Chains A and B, each alone.
Chain A
Amino acid sequence: MSVTSSSLFGSLAADLAGSNTLIAKLQQQIASGSRLQQPSDDPVGAAQAVRLSSAQSAISSYQASGTDATRFLGVADSTLGSMDTVLQRVSQLATSAVNGTANATSDGALAAEITSLRDQLVSLANADSGIPGQSLFGGFSATAVAQVGGTWTYAGDNGAVNRQIDATTAISVNDYGSGVTGGADLFGFTAGPGNDVFSVLDQLASAVSAGNTTAINAAQSTLSARSGAILAARGVVGAQEARVTSTQSVLAVVQNDNAAQLSSLQDTDVAQAALQLSQAQTGYQAALSVAARVGSLPSLADFLR
């Protein structure tokens, strides 16, 4: 095959342009740190990177929800702890009223303290989670307990405050057991009129005040059932907290895995790219030097004198 001027110079230009394109692409990859400049660089990888980025964003949401769930559960736990302390103190007072050397004055003082403890319990029951309006025991209502016409009533609803702690798990942070969210069940409002913890405390106060041992014992037995419910609720809350914690640690592992995978999909392997760049540069320089030599190649005409 003969080599003509147009074939020689035509292929030189194409070779130089090819090396240049490769160098530009590698430079861009190294400078930006990203291997995926355009979806066509790796269509499957690009689609996967989009899915992974979205999964990472969802995980951040779950982590935010989990953190908030832990906060809510923590407040609920300590509030239930305070309620337990209050009821223990009531129990001590009732016992001393039955056993002690009773007189009307001391009975009156005991009854007054029980009433004050009841007020404390009401205020604990109406506590919010730290966010105003977000009741711990009232479901979606701002308050859980109110006295209506002299009767203690449940002012809340069964609204479930839910947190999505991972893709498939939503937990109700105001679930205190018995399968009902909020405090209706917890405080005994579902056990019939007069059986809620606040009414029982009122009954106890009047029984102590009257020195009625039978009535004191009856009230105390109902009270111990309510106390048990609150202890059980602390157990439920503790279990929820543990669940959130373990879910969070699983999420952290998945997040790390995703990040590593995203990095391998998106990030330039700088060492490899630099190596390729230096190869491409060598090739380009060689092509340039060949081009320069071809340009100055003598032809037969130079030797014909």
Chain B
Amino acid sequence: MGFQALSIGASALEAMQTAVETVSHNVANAATPGYTRQVTQLAPAYPTNGVPGAIGGGVTAISITRARDALADVTWRSEAATAGAASARSTVLNDAQSAIGALSGPGSLSGDLSSFLSSWNALSLNPSDTAARSVVLQDARQLADDVNSASAQLATLGDDVRTQVSATVDQVNQLATQAANLNKQIVAARNAGQNPNDLQDQRDNVLDQLSQLTGATLHANQDGSVDVFLGTESLVRGVTTVPLVATANGATLGVGFTGGATATIGGSLGGYVSAANSDLPSFSAQLDNFASSVISALNAAQGAGFDLTGAAGQPLFTGTTAATMQVSGAITASGIAASATGAANDGNNALAVAALASTPPVPGGQTLNSQIAGLIGTIGSSAGGATATATAASTALQSATAARSARDGVDVNQESVDLLQYQQAYSAAAQVIATANSMLDTLINKMGA
């Protein structure tokens, strides 16, 4: 018979050493983001057949694997895509709120409109007073300025979102390239019979970011590579990538694949695109409606009246939109059409303009102020809704993160227990070798005499 106890003991020393190395790698990476706890897979070594039967050959460390929970990844990535989209949209909408400025009081759209209409009422009390006319003109300029500024801020915000989208597209393309490179390294390592655990952690980090940015779906292949899909088309397939490109069709923003294939975009990128394509234009349209209502109501009122000299009133505003609304350069204080008959002391046309404070410019329509209130209500409820969604999504993502790191992460106490276990097994194996050695010593040295 061969004396196997020595080699069995030696196999245990080797295996326990590997296991302790894995534990120390885990403890070292306890705080590394995206690190997955690794486990040494121990198995009995192949037995030797003999009499009275097969005798075990000791222990081998067959592999070191990641304790990765695939389901936790799927949950996390889906929550991350939702949270990414919600947070991007809520960021844009909260910025849009500041574009329309204060809610009421001087400098707000509503406050400016109220002052403007009040100054028409004041003019109706003393229609030939030049000072009262100047106030009307000044308030008209103030209103136009603030409408212009709100419009410009919304436009700037749209540009910012466009820049953000194109920066995000670049980031996604870089991440896709990284994922493809990691696919290549992982497949090569696996083909060489290795478990590329740390490369896989790196790739999972990249895939996490891609999910959060685009809402991508993933497909794992047999060879160890992972494909990344945006809808039915792939962003990463094995080692190749198809880059994304941001397109602009007029004011409509789009993100598609280079080469023209359609990409289904979610995540932060999707949130930005949807804010730029549906939310901001709807705010701008409401602001434009308000501006055009003011312009057409005031110009019609001017046309229905007569100025201080008795001449027919000329248009007060030029332009048709919030961006182009301006007080006409041809209008002076005496050009304000306060009179309904041409008489200088007639303030009835000014009174008709002042009535716009409570009557809609178009019968059955909304008052000018209600249009502002409507715009504020729309922006407020969009932003409020987006913020609530983002908060809920971020809470869900937090719990998904906690759940995932509880499964995949390193619990220092658990590692200490494992360390104890391996240490004791190591000591015991050393004791086995010592005992076997003593047995051999007995056999060799004590029998020959």
Which residues of A come within 8 Å of B, CB atoms?
1-7, 9-11, 14, 36, 38-44, 46-51, 53-54, 57-58, 60-61, 64-65, 68, 131, 133-135, 139-142, 157, 159-164, 167, 170, 299-301, 304
Contact = CB atoms under 8 A, between A and B. Distances in A.
A7 B405 contact: yes
A47 B376 contact: yes
Q: Per DSSP, are chain B's interface residues mostly helix, strand or loop, or mixed?
A: helix
Nearest to A13: B398
18 contacts: A1-B403, A5-B409, A6-B31, A6-B405, A10-B405, A11-B402, A36-B103, A40-B379, A40-B381, A40-B382, A43-B376, A43-B381, A57-B357, A140-B341, A162-B351, A164-B351, A300-B413, A300-B416
Contacts of A39: 97, 100, 103, 376-377, 379-381, 383-384
Given A44-B381, A159-B346, 10 more contacts: A2-B414, A4-B37, A5-B30, A9-B31, A39-B379, A44-B377, A50-B372, A140-B346, A164-B355, A300-B417
Contact of A4 (B124, B354, B376, B405): B405
A61 B121 contact: yes
B380 A304 contact: no
B387 interface: yes
Contact of B110 (A11, A41, A53, A300): A53
B193 to A, nearest CB: 30
B93 to A, nearest CB: 8
Contacts of A1: 403, 406
A60 B406 CA distance: 64
Contacts of B113: 54
Interface in B113-134: 113-115, 117-118, 121-122, 124-126, 128
Given A3-B406, A10-B405, A134 B126 contact: yes
A53 B405 contact: no
Nearest to A48: B373
A116 to B, nearest CB: 30
Interface string B390-408: 0000000010011101101
Given A38-B94, A300-B417, A301-B416, A47 B380 contact: yes
Contact of B377 (A5, A11, A43, A170): A43
A163 B128 CA distance: 16
Given A57-B118, A61-B121, A11 B398 contact: yes
Contacts of A36: 103
Nearest to B423: A304
Contacts of B44: none
A42 B377 CA distance: 9
B377 A7 contact: no
Contacts of B37: 4
Contacts of B344: 133, 140
Contacts of B357: 54, 57-58, 61
A36 B376 CA distance: 12
B140 to A, nearest CB: 16
Contact of B374 (A14, A47, A64, A301): A47
A50 B351 contact: no
B420 A304 contact: yes
A209 B269 CA distance: 102
Contacts of A42: 380, 384
Contacts of A167: 358
B47 interface: no
B252 to A, nearest CB: 25
A140 B343 contact: yes
A304 B416 contact: yes
B33 A6 contact: yes
Contacts of A3: 406, 411
B398 A40 contact: no
A9 B409 CA distance: 12
Nearest to B394: A14
Contact of A2 (B97, B373, B406): B406
B230 to A, nearest CB: 28
Given A3-B406, A39-B376, A53 B104 contact: yes
B345 interface: yes
A167 B376 CA distance: 24
Contacts of B267: none
A141 B339 CA distance: 13
Contacts of A6: 30-31, 33, 405, 409-410
Given A10-B401, A43-B377, A46-B103, A135 B345 contact: yes
Given A47-B376, A57-B357, A64 B103 contact: no
B105 interface: yes
Contact of A57 (B114, B341, B345, B420): B114
A4 B374 contact: no
Contacts of A53: 103-105, 110-111, 114
A64 B125 contact: yes
Contacts of A48: 373
Contact of B341 (A134, A159, A170, A299): A159
Given A40-B387, A140-B341, A4 B111 contact: no
B97 A40 contact: yes
A140 B410 CA distance: 91
Contacts of B414: 2
B94 A40 contact: yes
Contacts of B33: 6
Contacts of B382: 40
Interface in B310-356: 339, 341, 343-348, 351, 354-355
Given A10-B402, A61-B354, A301 B125 contact: no
A46 B103 CA distance: 7
B97 A64 contact: no
Interface in B9-31: 30-31
- Which 4 pairs show the lowest CB-CB distances between chains A and B? A39-B380, A4-B409, A43-B380, A140-B343
B110 A54 contact: yes
B309 interface: no
Given A5-B410, A64-B122, A164-B351, A50 B103 contact: yes
B346 A164 contact: no
Nearest to B118: A61
A146 B345 CA distance: 19
A46 B102 CA distance: 10
Contacts of B372: 50, 54
Nearest to A1: B406
A304 B415 CA distance: 12
B362 interface: no
Given A40-B383, A54-B369, A58-B358, A4 B103 contact: no
